[in-house]
Amino acid sequence: MPFFAPAGRSLQTLLFAFIIGILNNFYQAYSSYYSISAAQSLQNFLNVSYAARGVELSEGKLLWLWSFNLNSLYIGNILGTVFTSWLCEHFGRKMILLLSNCGIFGASFFSTLAIVFLLPELFLISRIFGALLSSLNFCAFALFVIEFPSTKLRGLVIFVSGVCYNVVANIGMLLGMDVLLGQNLEILIGFGMVPSFFGILTSIALEETPKFLLLNRENTEKALKALQFYQGDSVDQKRALAEIVKEKQKNEEKQRPILQMLRELFTQRHLRY
């Protein structure tokens, strides 16, 4: 078993959750917040890029271009959310984490190239692409942190993972200040490749979640191996698998058609207020 396997140990499980939380939340939070503190440098990049082509941007055009670049992350997030559920259920949490980290690394790389070679269009496209993949990554990670820990540690693991976003957001805001990396956009943006690279390495080393292996792949042997990796001997593994199956059965019993739920939403006043 790898040395970083949580194996049900409380402190190691929380440290594990913190590390993978930082690595997998990094692009989403970092790119959102360095854009705010390094706003002047990014606007200068747009001005210089178009000036090099002989195009002078008016104040209004610059504002529109800057606003579009700033909000391009939301476009990617919306596009990524559309496919998240299907991809996670068909390919698994581990595979989506791995592929999205690879794509995010590429997006950070091309964003850096865009700064170096004064290519604002490439910068915009790479931000949208990175946001799309970070949306996939974020949703796969959310499923992952819910499914890998034992029940007694699940709430704490989710809390630690949520804190990671705030930690990275503060890192992005601080590094984007002029006194740090705000005036050196190549390094500021290129720095995002570092956690993505380590995110790829950790994703390779992870086991798929026991719940996905048991319910989606119907592979009890691999599910037991994953339980040993994440929860060790802290739980009765066969009983834990039985609980997963029981939980699925309860959820299926509670499922109702979407049209019925919509009808109840519009006909029952207490559901709307």
Asked whether the predicted pLDDT for residue 250 surpasses 70, the reply is no
d(CA 2, CA 5): 6
CA distances from 156 to 8, 167, 210 (A): 13, 17, 19
Category of 206 on φ-ψ map: left (φ > 0), alpha (ψ -120 to 50) or beta:
beta
CATH architecture of 10-207: Up-down Bundle (1.20)
pTM of the predicted model as reported, rounded to 2 decimal places: 0.86
pLDDT at 3: 59
d(CA 272, CA 7): 44
Write out pLDDT tens, residues 69-127.
888 888 888 888 888 888 999 999 999 999 999 999 999 999 999 999 999 999 999 99
Residue 184 or residue 242, greater confidence: 184
Write out pLDDT tens, residues 150-186.
888 999 999 999 899 999 999 999 999 999 999 999 9
Category of 58 on φ-ψ map: left (φ > 0), alpha (ψ -120 to 50) or beta:
beta
pLDDT at 245: 74
pLDDT at 13: 93
